[in-house]
A = this chain, B = another copy of it.
Amino acid sequence: MLSKKAKYALKAMLMLAEQPEGLLIQAPDIADRQKVPGKFLEAILLDLKRRGLVHSQRGKQGGYCLAKPADRITFGEIIRIMDGPLAPIPCASMTSYRRCADCRDEAACAIRQVMLRTRDAMASVLDHVSLADVSAGTHRDLVSTALAG
């Protein structure tokens, strides 16, 4: 399950992706528009900033904007920052593998094999859909995106 935090992060990033390049948007604007709790959103944006996905400026007339072009930020990237690995089980994660303590023979583990395939299936969507692919400003056809990936 996607946490609220991840969902709010996606909403915020999509809103930033719709803005003209370089324009700064304030946290309260995003909170109002996207109906997310203001202080909670602040924490989320701070997190996204620390991870290099958004740029921020303090003080009057400050705000947030994307730190990279929208076509170079994927859903998977955002979700991993907020919720951790995509894989349903740590032993099937590419980005943060961890062995199962209770596993007799990992190479033969049926659960792991199926979860690897599940992870791949999820990643084949989430790591290939960028903000630009779906944002209102620069909408591209989803089917062609899928075929290209």
Residues of A that sit less than 8 Å from B by CB: 1-2, 7, 10-11, 14, 34-36, 75, 84, 88-89, 102, 110-111, 113-115, 117-118, 121-122, 124-126, 129, 134-135, 142, 146
- Least CB distance from A140 to B in Å reads 11
**Beta-carbon contact of B89 and A2 below 8 Å:** yes
**Beta-carbon contact of A114 and B126 below 8 Å:** yes
- Least CB distance from A121 to B in Å reads 4
Q: Which residues of B contact A114 (CB under 8 A)?
A: 75, 125-126, 129, 134
Q: What 5 new A-B contacts, CB under 8 Å, besides A7-B89, A114-B134, A121-B121?
A: A2-B115, A14-B110, A113-B142, A121-B122, A122-B122
Could you list 17 A-B pairs, sorted by A, with CB under 8 Å?
A: A1-B84, A1-B89, A2-B88, A2-B89, A7-B89, A11-B111, A14-B110, A14-B111, A35-B102, A75-B114, A114-B125, A114-B129, A117-B129, A117-B142, A118-B122, A121-B121, A122-B122
